Amino acid sequence: MRKRIGSNWMLYTLWITAFVAAVSITLSCERESTTIQGIAETREMTISSESPVEIRRVNVVEGQSVTKGQLLVELVSPELTLRINHISHQLDQLRAQKGVNKDEIRSKIRQLEAEKASLNSEARNQIRLIENQYNLNKELASGLKSIKGAGDAAGSGASNPVTLQIESLRQELALSLRPLNIQIELLQKSLDESGSPIKIQVEQLEKELALLKAENSKLNIYAQMGGIIGSVNFKPGEKASPFAPILTLHTKNPSFVKGYIHENIYTRMSLGKKVTIVSQTDSRITVAGSVVGVGARIVEYPARLRKNPVLQTYGREVLVKIPEDNGFILGEKVMIASSEPKTGFLSYFKGKKITLFSYLKNLFLPEEIHAETRAAASANTMARASAETSCNYRATPIVPLKTSDIEASAIVRLEDIDRWLVLSDDTPDKKPLLFLADSEGRITKEVLISGLKEINDMESAAVGDDGTLYIASSLNPNKKGKIEKSRRFLISVKREGDNFTLIRKVDLYKLLAESAEQNSNNDWAQFILSAIEDRSLDMEGMFYRESALYLGFKSPFYEGNSVILRIDSIDEMLRSEKSDDNQISLWKKILLKTDETLQQEHISDLFYHNNALYVTGTLSDQAGGSLWKLDENTGNMTLITGFEGLNPEGIAAGSDKDSLVISFDQGDDKASQIALVGGML
């Protein structure tokens, strides 16, 4: 009996030892991993024409490898050719008309000159006949002794009838020549100026013709990048309508991977997360990647990635950027694996209230947390993401601004110098310090605004039509509750390259307060007066349009909405340092939330482009925010994407034609960050 008990004890001991060893080995190699399926894709460029064209020649075929700058397609635009011919014909007519008009005027002048000469000749002949007759009578009278002396007396008097007759003829000639001289003078003036209107028309048409010929010379399509021809949709001789895809061009290797997270599974995929991409056909082909986009709405899985192609499956998209030098095939199925090494069992329990059972459960079921078990803060973000949004965007990794001194509060694209102007809401000694950053987040230069001594809490910026830069402080009290003068400015700045010079400045806080007092019956004035009274006024967004400046207020809410004010003729207001009646108005009241159960966001910046207003919003009591788009006609806000754990503070145009750049202010102890959101504009 004892022997049996002893053997059982040894068996139990053996099992316990094996279990402890297995747990120890597992804990020593512990890793949390996430694995999802995806498809290797590439950046594809669609080539089209903005006007109707005819395909003259196609120099490539599908699948052909091309180099940057290679001629792909030669086009002909019948409409452009017709326009060029029409303008050329107009020019010929104007030039001919110009010559005909001058010949007609010269002919009229010659005719009047001839008429003038005829009148002169006729008058001179009459005067000569009268003088001859007078001389003859005088000689005859001088031979008569009875009237001797009478002829001399008659000829020498002022009342001599002959003299009077001659003078009368001369006056009559002058009167006859006067209208002719006036006509000749007018015609000569017309001759001198006859070419001016036609000359102006000719010069305008010649400029237009030069532009059309330049446009016609650009009809040939060249490769903007090296790659592979994807599809050729037209043959020589066919006509293509405007913006119809003529051919597509993509890179030789996949440039990104699009993966999908099942809708019932929550993963820790986030922007900037490092992942490993593994080929499903050859596990030896692996590359490192970085998550650049996490979908903000639920979409349908591609049929290739469904376990059962017949059943519809839904989830969120994940976009992963991979190096161009990779061994994947376009369209290849891959696995996206994320792993974060832990330091062991004790590190997992440190600072956490967790049981051994829950730890082991997480160990063997890593990262698969069902949506209904998520924390409240994450539920709030997911509720935003699952709302009806516009999510056809691409995003680059969020990268830190490479300096520790910036609390990025606003960002503006400076196209001519290929830089972003970054504002910081806190600068040393309140200096008017601006920062220039490149696309990699490197601060390439720090510049001061010449002519401005100090400004603090710069929160918004906008660029006018003539390049004037407008910068405004928040108008908000400091941490001690004091509204310092340096926090109340609106300034206009002239920029030449990377040199900034103050044009004008105004105490915007004082101006709004005084104007609101004078217009206290207006809704915008009531908003300002109420905010000033409870010291909650905080302006963080701004954009410029058609000589007006639009101010977006982070707080307070007015009738449950965020407020955007409009100031017309902003330059005039800066010059006079006061506002006229009706110059300030309430432009829009907007609501930055998709559901009554969600927390409302506050305006943190505004950006207007192509009749659309983009708004960044932040939460008041926790990190996080979103990007929104305003339908100006209906006033409805559309949620584009959310930023969990990030505070979007600035928004500007990207370096290409369809992207936005967003800056994030993460507080005093964390570096500010920037991200590019493509496919937006």
**What gap in Å lies between CA 36 and CA 294, rounded to an integer?**
13
Local structure of 364: helix, strand or coil: helix
pLDDT score of 417 more than 70: yes
Note the pLDDT of residue 387: 33
- Residue type at 90 in one-letter notation: Q
87: Cβ–Cβ under 8 A, 6 or more apart, which residues?
205, 208, 209, 212
Please report the pLDDT score of residue 196 as a whole number: 57
Tens digit of each residue's pLDDT (9 = 90 or more) over 594-651: 777 678 899 999 998 877 899 999 987 777 888 888 877 766 788 888 887 788 888 9
Burial class (CB in 10 A: 0-12, 13-18, 19+), 8: exposed
Could you read off the pLDDT of 360-405 as tens digits, one per residue? 444 444 433 333 333 333 333 333 333 333 334 444 445 555 454 6
- Does residue 680 carry a pLDDT above 70? no
- Write out the DSSP string of 468-490: -EEEEE-----TTS---GGGSEE
pLDDT at 193: 57
State yes or no: pLDDT of 22 exceeds 70.
Answer: no
* Spatial separation of the C-alpha atoms in residues 75 and 88, rounded to whole Å: 21
Report the length, in residues, of the chain: 681
String of DSSP letters for 75-95:
EE-HHHHHHHHHHHHHHHHHH
Task: Please indicate whether residue 101 or residue 209 has the higher confidence score (pLDDT).
Answer: 209
pLDDT digits (tens, 9 = 90+) for 521-561: 889 999 999 999 888 899 999 999 988 999 999 999 988 89
> Is residue 470 pLDDT above 90, yes or no?
yes
Angle between helices 195-217 and 78-142 (to 10 degrees): 160
- List Cβ neighbours of 346 (8 Å cut-off, separation of 6 or more): none
Please give the residue that has the higher pLDDT: either 657 or 108. Answer: 108
pLDDT for res 138:
75
Q: Using alpha carbons only, what angle is made at residue 671 by residues 269 and 324, rounded to the nearest 5 degrees?
A: 50
pLDDT of residue 365: 44
Q: List Cα–Cα distances, 226 to 75, 161, 518, in angstroms.
A: 21, 105, 64
Q: Which of 343-351's residues contact partners 24+ apart within 8 Å by CB, and which partners? A: 344/27, 344/28, 344/30, 345/27, 345/30, 348/30
With b for 16 or more beta-carbon neighbours within 10 A and e for fewer, the 207-228 pattern comes to: eebeebeeebeebebebeeebb
Q: Is the predicted pLDDT of residue 584 greater than 90, yes or no? A: yes
Predicted confidence band of residue 265 (pLDDT cuts 50, 70, 90):
low
pLDDT of residue 567: 94
Distance CA 308, CA 678 (A): 33
Give the pLDDT of residue 406.
Answer: 77
Q: Helices in 442-591 by DSSP H: which ranges?
A: 508-518, 523-533, 570-576
| Among the ranges given (12-26, 324-338, 659-673), the one the predictor scored with the smallest mean pLDDT | 12-26
Query: Given pLDDT bands bounded at 50, 70 and 90, which one contains residue 103?
Result: low
Buried-state track 296-333, b at ≥16 Cβ within 10 A, e below 16:
bbeeebeeebeeeeeeebebbbbbbbbeeebebebebb
pLDDT of res. 394: 41
Query: Which range in 140-149, 158-167, 175-184 is most confidently predicted, on average pLDDT?
Result: 175-184
Of 212-216, 248-252, 398-402, 408-412, the range with the highest mean pLDDT is 408-412
Cα distance between residue 58 and residue 72, in whole Å: 6
- The residue with greater pLDDT, 262 or 503, is 503
